A and B are shown apart, each in its own frame.
Chain A
C-alpha cells in the first residue's frame, strides 16, 4: 500500500521500556504519562520513563508484596505504591528528605481501595468501593491529613488529569457517573449524569465497565449528545488525536475517525458517521537492538492491534509485550484524496492543527490538474478560508483596541489571539497557490481570471482589504492576454482599488494600451497624495502648461522646481511656451523674494542665457523700483 493510504501512524521515537514478563511488571500512569517497569516488586529496580524525560528515573524499593498500582506525584516529588487493598505506601523523592517509606490506610472500614490519583504534588485521592477520600501529604512529617471524604458506592473510576476530574461509576448497573473536581486544594461534587444502556438486563447487574468509557479533554464544549456510529461490533478502543475521536477495531485491525465538532446546525443529538473510510494504522517497523541484533538486519514489522496493546488517553498506545509507548498521530495529506466533497474536506482540515500546507495544496490541486474544481466549488473553498481569516483579524483588532485603551475594567486579563495554522491569509494564497497558477500555460485564461475574481469577491464579501499584489496579478494576466477592454471596465468600476503601485503599473502599460494613461491619471488624482506623480506624468507628455495649471490648482506652485519646468518647456521646442513658463517663474521670484532673478541654488542660469538669446536682454523682467 502506498504512503497515501494511511492517515494514522505511530510516532517515530517511542518510549522504550523493558517488556512485561514473569519478573517484570509494567504500569502506566496516565496523569504523568509515565511507564514504570517494576522488577521483582522493586527489589531489583524500578525504571520510570516519561515523555519529557531525557533520562529515566531508576531506584530500588523493598519488595513488600506485589505492586498493584504505582504513581509519582506531580514533579516526581512523592511516590505512591499500592500493594494491599487497604493501604497505600509513600516514599519521598524530595532532595534532602530521607528515602523512608510511610503508609496510609483508607479511613472507611471494610472498604477496598480501587485506586488512587495524585491531584497535586502533595495531594492525593483514594477511591474505594465505599467512597472517595481526599488527603494532603505532609512529606516532612511523613504522614497524611484527610481534607475531605464522601461516602458513595463505587464500581470503578476514571481520572481525567488535564481537568483533575475523577468520574465514579455508581449504582447497581454502574451507568450513573458521578464526577468530582479537584482545584486549588478543594474537592467539589459536580452534577451526576446517566449513560443510556441499550439493553437493561434483568436482574439488573453491572452493565457498564470502565472499558466502555473513555474520558478525554476536547476543545470547547462537548455535550454528551454525540453518537458515533461504528457500524460494526466487537472490541473497540478509543484515542483522541488533534480533536478527532479515533476508534480502533481489533478484529478488522482498522481504525476510524470521527470529527465530532462537525455538527448539523439544528440537531440536538448529533449522530456522526466516520469521516473517512476505515484504515489500519501505518505499518510500523521495529529496529532490532540488544546483544543479539546485527546492525545490518532490517527492522522487523511490529504487530498492530495486538491483544497486548493498551490504549490510554488521549493519544497513547502501549505495547507491554514489546516494551513500547507510542503517541498516535494523524497524517493529513492522505485524507485529501479520501474526501471527495471539497467543502467538507476544507471544513475537516480547518479544524486540524497542522493544516496550513495541506489546505494550500488542496487549493492548488483544485485549480490545476484533471479534477479541477468548478467555479462554485472554488468559491465555496475561498469563502470558508476567508471566514476563518476574518474571524482572526477581528479578534486581533478587538485585542489591539482593548490594549490601547488601557487596563480593562473587567477582571479577565486579555489574551492575545493565537494565530492557528487554519488562518490562511492573502500572502499565503498568493505565494503558494495563485502566483504559480496564473503562469500556467495549459489553463484557459478565462478560468484564471474567473478564479482571481472569485478570490477578490470572497475577500470583499467579508470586508477584508485586498492587497495590491493581487490586483497586480489580475492586471498582468489581463494584459498578457490582451484583454484590455476587460481591464478598462474593471478599473472603471473600481474593482481594482486605487494605489500608487497600481497607477505606476498602468503607466508602464501605456505603450501597449494607450488608455492606460488616462486611467493612471484618474487613479493618481483619486489618491490625492500623488500630486508629484501627476506632475511627472504630465511633464513626460510635454504638457507643461497643464502641469503648471494643475499644480497651481492644488496650491503647490510655490514649491515646485523652476528648473524642472524650464527643462521640460525647452524640450518642447515651443518658444512661446518657454517664454510663458519663464515669465511665470520670474513673477514667482518677485512675489517670494522681491526680485525677479533666480537664486543660484535653482540652477537656472543656462535658461536665463537662452532666454536672453532668443528674446533679448530687454525682455527680462525689471526689478521693481521701490
Chain B
C-alpha cells in the first residue's frame, strides 16, 4: 500500500526518511501511534489461548532496560566511587 499507511516494520531503510515525514506528530497522532503499538503487542503476545511467559517477560525486560538507562548516571557514580 501507500507509504503513509504502512506499519514501521514494512518500511524499507531507504524510505524511512519519507515515512517519518508523513507521520502525525501532534499529541493525538502520537497517542494514536502508542495505542496502536500497545494493542498490536497485546494481540500478538497476550490475548492468546495458550500463551507462555514470553508476553510479560518481554515487558519486564524492557522495564529493566529502561530503568537502567534512567539510572545510569547515578549507578556509574556510585559504582566508581566504591572502595579502592
Query: Is B a genuine binding partner of A?
Result: no
| Residues in B lying within 8 Å of A, measured CB to CB | none
| Residues in A lying within 8 Å of B, measured CB to CB | none
